[in-house]
């Protein structure tokens, strides 16, 4: 069983379209994340949810809207796609922080978004 699963794995679309990426984790974790990895492999946090509540919202255009229907799911919806949105988007989850720090992050395999 895949611990953190994302769909779709590949997404090719035209500028201006709206698209969604879904993420599900079966690890029973309370916290889920979206990270963006650009073409240079730089990995940046976008959002973090803890038990369906938004915890981190980095400087991300408001065209990006995360939605967490329950603590096992965190979906990412992107409106009016732009060329610069092309990247690999990673979902991750982690258990409750121990000793004042986030523990191990468990990553999905990534969703490669290409905007033409």
How many whole angstroms separate alpha carbon 41 and alpha carbon 77?
22
Quick one: 14 or 101, whose CB is closer to another protein? 101
Q: Using CB under 8 A, which of 68, 90, 93, 113 touches another protein?
A: 90
> Smallest Cα–Cα separation from 110: which of 16, 28, 30, 43?
43
Q: Which residues within the stretch 52-81 sit at the binding site for another protein (CB under 8 A)?
A: 55-56
Residue with tokens 């982690």: 94
Task: List the x/- string, 93-112, binding to another protein by CB under 8 A.
Answer: ----x-xxxxxxx-xxxx--
Quick check: 18 binds another protein (CB under 8 A)? no
Nearest distance, CB of residue 9 and another protein, angstroms: 9
How many whole angstroms separate alpha carbon 109 and alpha carbon 2?
10
Quick check: 8 binds another protein (CB under 8 A)? no
Part of the chain binding another protein (CB under 8 A), chosen from 18-26, 37-45, 60-68, 77-85: 37-45
| Torsion sign, CA atoms 52, 85, 82, 24 | negative
Residues sharing a CB contact under 8 Å with residue 7, sequence separation 6 or more, in sequence order:
21, 22, 111
Q: Three-state DSSP class for 17?
A: coil
Residues near another protein (CB under 8 A) are 4, 33, 40-45, 48, 55-56, 90, 92, 97, 99-105, 107-110
């Amino acid at each position: 069983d895949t611990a953190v699963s994302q769909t779709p794995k590949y997404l090719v679309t035209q500028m201006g379209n709206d698209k969604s990426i879904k993420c599900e984790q079966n690890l029973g974790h309370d916290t889920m994340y979206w990270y963006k990895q650009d073409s240079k492999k730089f990995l940046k946090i976008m959002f973090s949810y803890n038990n369906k509540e938004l915890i981190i919202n980095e400087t991300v255009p408001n065209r990006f809207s995360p939605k967490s229907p329950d603590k096992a799911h965190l979906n990412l919806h992107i409106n009016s796609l732009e060329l610069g949105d092309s990247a690999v988007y990673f979902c991750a989850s982690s258990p409750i922080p121990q000793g004042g720090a986030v523990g191990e992050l468990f990553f999905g395999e990534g969703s490669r978004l290409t905007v033409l």
